[in-house]
Amino acid sequence: MDTAWFLGILDAEGQLLADAAQEAGMTASVPSCPGWEVRDLLRHTGVVHRWAAAFVADGHTAPRPMGEHPELDGPGLVSWYRDSHRRLVDTLAGAAPGTQCFTFLPGGPSGALAFWARRQAHETTVHRFDAESARGGVPAPIAADFAVDGVDELLRGFHARRKSRIRTDRPRVLRLRTTDADAVWTVHLSQEPPVTTRDAVGVAECELAAPAQELYLALWNRLSVPALSGDPELATLWRETSAVV
């Protein structure tokens, strides 16, 4: 799983997102993002792409806010999104391997380029699913190895930060398992940020198991919780408090 691998996925997923959005139309509701229309999805994802590309292009090493959403709509908005996506892919592909810039998640691949290629590949994949949910029909598949990586990024990246709201008043243990790949995570919950390990050590009070693609989308709250055993309270806790902020 290197930068080129993530870049290939990012490239393909962005094109799928734009195609699905164009087919759905700007006013179509996005079922997986309540309250959003397709126009909101394109504006958000395009701004994120431009924000990420600028860190790499400028070698900027400190946080900075995202830009304003464009006032564009209709075909002009789709074209703007396609340009935003292309700018991101081309910036990452053309950057020097040792580029230094701001990143914001612990762990993960080494180096800023790999970080941004990975992060934007997952950002775009999840929002591509959103666009396809607005269009209707069968969504494009997500490869198991990429989905496993995405679960890992979510658990050991996003929810290792102090911003994570998944907290319990006493120690609890949640286990997550893929049924089509050799991947299992044990999430230790407490009043502090979750601590996740790639193992099945100890007793878990609740286990969620599903094919990697379904587990990935469920943990990003795009699908319902997969097969569950044990205490359903922990699955409810995840659904209610896991939104990334």
Residue labelled with tokens 């081309």: 90
pLDDT tens digits for range 201-221: 999 999 999 999 999 999 999
HSE, CB side, 13 Å, CA atoms: give it for residue 211: 7
- Cβ neighbours of 79 (radius 10 Å): 13
Task: Dump pLDDT digits (tens) for 137-155.
Answer: 999 999 999 999 999 999 9
Q: How confident is the model at residue 227 (pLDDT cuts 50, 70, 90)?
A: confident
In this predicted structure, what is the pLDDT of residue 244? 85
pTM of the predicted structure, to 2 decimals:
0.96
C-alpha 225/C-alpha 217 separation (Å) is: 9
46 or 243, higher pLDDT: 46
pLDDT score of 225 more than 90:
no
Separation between Cα atoms, residue 90 and residue 52, nearest integer Å = 12
Taking all residues of the chain, what is their mean pLDDT, rounded to a whole number?
Answer: 96
Cβ count within 10 A of residue 180? 14
Give me the percent of the chain exceeding a pLDDT of 90: 93
Quickly list DSSP for 29-64.
B-TTSTT-BHHHHHHHHHHHHHHHHHHHHHT--S--
Give the pLDDT confidence of 77-124 residue by residue, as tens digits: 999 999 999 999 999 999 999 999 999 998 888 899 999 999 999 999
